[in-house]
Structure 1
Amino acid sequence: MIVILADDLGYGDLGCTGSKQIPTPSIDRLAKEGVFCSRAYVTAPMCAPSRMGLLTGRFPKRYGITTNPNSKVDYLPDSHYGLPLTEKLIPEYLEPFGYRSAVFGKWHLGHTKGFTPPERGFTHWWGFLGGSRDYFPRKKEIEGLNPSAIESNFTDKTGITYLTDDITDRAVEFLNEAKQDKKPFFMFVSYNAPHWPMQAKPEDIALFKNVQNRERRLYCAMVYAMDKGIGRILDTLKKDGLDGNTMVVFLSDNGGAPEAPSCNAPFRGHKRLHFEGGVRVPFIIKYPADKRLVPGSVCKQPVSTVDLLPALLKANGAEIPKKLDGMDILSLVGNRTGEVPRTMFWCTDYTSAVMDGDLKYLLVPDRAPQCYRVSSDYQEQKDLYFQNPALAEPLARKLGSYLTETPACRYPDTIQWSSKLLKEYSQATRPEVQPGK
């Protein structure tokens, strides 16, 4: 399996999701060769918890994670800000089956001893441990909770040119090695594009000279560079004869950020919020070996990133642990007998939500509950809560049980951040629209 993860990508910023400004031929090609999942969700509307859910197959509140490691408090050690050691990650599940596991790019799941990628099952690691960094070389790197220095456990080549290209280089090299040793592999290509800071190569920026807003122009160039990198990965996979039996997944870790020039059309909301614009992401899966997956088709079945680990376990004949929140994504996407009921939970700081079937129930502490039928009202404009409170009652009970039966947050965020989050909920009232050409 190859998981290609974009960082803070707006839902509408791909050709296959309606962008009029950003050409993404490689991702569009992947959608034509695979299946586009139109109701795909991440486990959190922000970077670290979203990645944790993907790699553990469990909703992050189950192990006390509800926010990014943004600010350090005196009474907690740095190690408390990592993915808890009680949790088992995809490469640790795969190790008994002889897998080589690699992660290239952004980690953001712990920076102290015991929490780094090589200590969590990855045989190959090249990237940075924090949540963001410059795309070009810099004289002094950041330390603390979000270190930005490039490090690796298999090469001393940790200099960079343009980070998106460098991450792609490592992925291509790994695939070429995989061709030689013929072992099964799991590769996590964790791009930090198009996450802040807005930095792009001059030749890519020049392609978007007609985009008037400077920040948007840089953002477009960053997405375009990532798409070129994905094209290189797909081409290498085919050239090395590995594409027939390799599952390729592309998605974003959450919606585009409100402070970035991203576009989450056609949804309401953005990164950090539990509206569709924060947790519903473009998600493409290609696996030629499974004939149930029809190339160029659209799957309307709700799926989640927690569904990836069960698919790998099932493919290897292993039992799927009952504690996992996911289901085998290949069975879900290949299902022809009707929609499989799903229940998904989100918890960010003091806000939370549950989606049960096609109903979503949201709790934001400074206002009344909200309830939307997201299958038909995907822009979340018709709040059903006051119209039919009985409709929301079963969801309120499910969410209440989830919140009380799972641990409190391992590390709190600042009061300023919590207040900002509530303001963002108040401001995100209308769905976003595509910018013109």
Structure 2
Amino acid sequence: MKRNYYLLTLLITLSSLAGWSQDKRPNVILILVDDLGFSDIEPYGASDIHTPNLTELASQGTRFQEFYNNSICAPTRASLLTGQYAHKAGLGYFNVNLGLPAYQGFLNKESPTLAEVLKKAGYSTIISGKWHVGDDYDQWPAQRGFERSFNFVGGASNFYEIGDSTQATVPLYKNNKPFYLPKDRYLTDEITDQAIGFLKEQHHDKKPFFLYLAFNAPHWPLQAPEEETQKYQETYTIGWDSLRTKRYENAIKQGVFPAKQKISAKDTLTQEWNKLTYDEKQYWKRRQQVFAGMIDRVDQSIGKIRQTLKELKVDDNTIIIFLSDNGAQGGDRARIYTSRNTGTVGSAGSYDVQNSNWSQTGNSPLRSYKDNPYEGGIGAPFIVWYPKEVKANTIKRGTGHLIDIAPTLYDYAQAKYPNTNYGTATNTLPGVSLRKLLNTDLAQVERNQALFWERAGNRAVRFGKWKLVSTYRNGNKVELYDIDTDRGENHNVASQHPEVVTQLEELYKKWAKENDVVNYDRIKGQSSFR
């Protein structure tokens, strides 16, 4: 009897192993970059920045004209990782605890992460890069479903270590243990190589994998290897005004911005390039050279990841998704952290930030910047590559949102979204799978509901062609735009369509109540990030 029992157990084990070895579900690589503007890569209009790997992914895959994020780092990551609106996941404001469930500053247990769901579905789960959705140890990636993790916890990091192993200025962790970034080692390269190492490790598991590759580039501080910066020595003599127009024209040629639509009106707070002195031009050119170098290095990293896929013979069964967490960083020169600067912009120890002068070009042809509900704040590049199923060299209108990524990946992975997580009832997924859109001739998501935004009192609603916007700084005065004809948001038509304004306001109130959104004045005084 015992012998039969052991024999049966062995047969079940061998059958199980055979099943995993034949698992044909796709691998997934989700690439998120930080503070990248809409037209900061070649497939979206940036002929000035060299991104051949992203260009190849785009030519062999599908791009969206309209794909939306949450306008700023932590809330975007919360939605991306859980498929929930940021408030529902616990990060309605930022990674700071403001004393309310929707603003607790870390991912709640009611919102399972991609890693938690895919791990239960039989996937190896990996993160390499930025986390920013929970600062305390029990909120880190390894505690939220990631079996292999290399990351920094907060929102920004130097790209070079200028301290020592006892006082690290780049606080990294590998599988929950402190990791010291070697001197002269560039963080983007380390994030890439750690991901590659994990991919090679997990290959022996004979399971499909999910890799969340979260680069912090090109987020400030502006730091890049000098060889990358020097590639762009003469590129930016054109200045931001002319380049902004050129990118707008390129975006139309690429098909990612509607033909015949106008570029957004120029931000009057930005300086006139032609009125700068020679020395000022040299200073500003250098800053954009570094920014371009940071993006260039990310693109090279994507090439290394793809080469690893080929070496492991899994490239033909891997989905790659690329997007940005928000638009390019706005603000004026006063934001530069001069007290932290110990070197020329781009070098280790420098601490310069991007601001509106070049960022208006980065977000061209869209309006405004990061942390704003206009298209330049919430609109991002979105590329999906999966030759087995996703149409090649295709442009979709899209109108997708972060909340759609989780149901899409669960669709491909045949993963069941759980009813409970850590003994708690889970939040329902509000998004839709993009799979049908990606493998058919459909032009945009079939969605019966509006999309919503709220962050620090800034609000937006998108329903059909209409977009309602109000900003806290402007006293929440309501604006209405017809995105079908005016994605540049140049013409506020609220007074001409009061019935549409009323409809969208009512939809927003209902959504806000369902997601525990509170009036910003209630939490403003407690916030440490504004």
Q: Is 1:105–1:191's contact at 8 Å kept on the other side of the alignment?
A: yes
- Among 286, 301, 306, which residue is 1:234 paired with? 306
Q: Give CA-to-partner distance per residue, 1:75-129, whole Å, 9 cap, x none.
A: 799x943222332101111122221111111101112132010000000111110
Return the offset for 1:412. Answer: 3.9
- AA at the equivalent of 1:312: L
Return the offset for 1:246. Answer: 1.1
Q: Give CA-to-partner distance per residue, 1:25-63, whole Å, 9 cap, x none.
A: 111111011111111111x10000000000100111224
Return the offset for 1:196. Answer: 0.4
Q: Give CA-to-partner distance per residue, 1:329-383, whole Å, 9 cap, x none.
A: 2122224356423521111011211111221111224142111111221101121
Residue identity (%): 30
Tell me how far apart the structure 1 counterparts of residues 400 and 45 of structure 2 sit (CA, whole Å): 21
Mapped pair 1:373 → 2:482:
yes
Partner of 1:59: 85
Partner of 1:346: 453
Tell me how far apart the structure 1 counterparts of residues 163 and 463 of structure 2 sit (CA, whole Å): 49
Tell me how far apart the structure 2 counterparts of residues 319 and 113 of structure 1 sit (CA, whole Å): 28
> In 2 relative to 1, CA 188–413 (structure 1 residues): closer, same or farther, beyond 3 Å?
farther
Q: Is 1:64–1:408's contact at 8 Å kept on the other side of the alignment?
A: no
Q: Is 2:130–2:155's contact at 8 Å kept on the other side of the alignment?
A: yes
Mapped pair 1:300 → 2:397:
yes
Mapped pair 1:407 → 2:516:
yes
Q: Is 1:129–1:148's contact at 8 Å kept on the other side of the alignment?
A: no
Q: Is 1:254–1:278's contact at 8 Å kept on the other side of the alignment?
A: yes
Tell me how far apart the structure 2 counterparts of residues 243 and 20 of structure 1 sit (CA, whole Å): 27
- AA at the equivalent of 2:173: E
Q: Is 1:141–1:149's contact at 8 Å kept on the other side of the alignment?
A: no
Q: Which has the higher helix share?
A: 2
Structure with the greater alpha carbon radius of gyration: 2
Tell me how far apart the structure 2 counterparts of residues 5 and 391 of structure 1 sit (CA, whole Å): 34
What is the CA RMSD across the aligned residues, in angstroms? 2.7
Tell me how far apart the structure 2 counterparts of residues 417 and 156 of structure 1 sit (CA, whole Å): 26
- AA at the equivalent of 1:301: G
Return the offset for 1:319. Answer: 4.5
- AA at the equivalent of 2:365: P
Q: Is 1:301–1:333's contact at 8 Å kept on the other side of the alignment?
A: no
- Among 69, 72, 83, which residue is 1:46 paired with? 72
**DSSP-derived class of the 2:504 partner:** helix
Return the offset for 1:156. Answer: 6.9
Tell me how far apart the structure 1 counterparts of residues 526 and 495 of structure 2 sit (CA, whole Å): 30
Q: Is 2:160–2:170's contact at 8 Å kept on the other side of the alignment?
A: no
Bigger CA drift: 61-70 or 106-115? 61-70
> In 2 relative to 1, CA 140–234 (structure 1 residues): closer, same or farther, beyond 3 Å?
same
Mapped pair 1:383 → 2:492:
yes
Mapped pair 1:81 → 2:105:
yes
Partner of 2:9: none
Partner of 2:412: 315
- Among 295, 298, 309, which residue is 1:223 paired with? 295
Tell me how far apart the structure 2 counterparts of residues 206 and 111 of structure 1 sit (CA, whole Å): 36
Mapped pair 1:358 → 2:465:
yes
Tell me how far apart the structure 2 counterparts of residues 335 and 359 of structure 1 sit (CA, whole Å): 25
- Among 175, 180, 183, which residue is 1:153 paired with? 175
Mapped pair 1:10 → 2:37:
yes
Bigger CA drift: 170-179 or 3-12? 170-179
> In 2 relative to 1, CA 413–204 (structure 1 residues): closer, same or farther, beyond 3 Å?
farther
Mapped pair 1:289 → 2:311:
no
Tell me how far apart the structure 2 counterparts of residues 367 and 251 of structure 1 sit (CA, whole Å): 29
**DSSP-derived class of the 1:31 partner:** helix
Tell me how far apart the structure 2 counterparts of residues 204 and 152 of structure 1 sit (CA, whole Å): 27
Q: Is 1:26–1:231's contact at 8 Å kept on the other side of the alignment?
A: yes
Tell me how far apart the structure 2 counterparts of residues 14 and 254 of structure 1 sit (CA, whole Å): 14
Tell me how far apart the structure 2 counterparts of residues 142 and 222 of structure 1 sit (CA, whole Å): 28
Aligned length: 410
Tell me how far apart the structure 1 counterparts of residues 64 and 442 of structure 2 sit (CA, whole Å): 17
Partner of 2:259: none
Bigger CA drift: 254-263 or 176-185? 176-185
- AA at the equivalent of 2:76: S
Ranges in structure 1 where 5+ consecutive residues have no aligned partner:
421-437
Q: Is 2:437–2:443's contact at 8 Å kept on the other side of the alignment?
A: no
Return the offset for 1:318. Answer: 4.0
TM-score (ref. length: structure 1): 0.87
TM-score (ref. length: structure 2): 0.72
- Among 323, 328, 333, which residue is 1:251 paired with? 323
**DSSP-derived class of the 1:173 partner:** helix
Return the offset for 1:206. Answer: 1.0
Partner of 1:198: 222
Bigger CA drift: 176-185 or 318-327? 318-327
Q: Is 1:124–1:154's contact at 8 Å kept on the other side of the alignment?
A: no
Tell me how far apart the structure 1 counterparts of residues 289 and 442 of structure 2 sit (CA, whole Å): 44
**DSSP-derived class of the 1:114 partner:** helix
Ranges in structure 2 where 5+ consecutive residues have no aligned partner:
1-27, 237-281, 332-353, 419-426
**DSSP-derived class of the 1:312 partner:** helix
> In 2 relative to 1, CA 163–312 (structure 1 residues): closer, same or farther, beyond 3 Å?
same
Tell me how far apart the structure 2 counterparts of residues 280 and 235 of structure 1 sit (CA, whole Å): 30
Return the offset for 1:311. Answer: 2.0
Partner of 1:93: 117
> In 2 relative to 1, CA 154–415 (structure 1 residues): closer, same or farther, beyond 3 Å?
closer
Tell me how far apart the structure 1 counterparts of residues 43 and 435 of structure 2 sit (CA, whole Å): 21
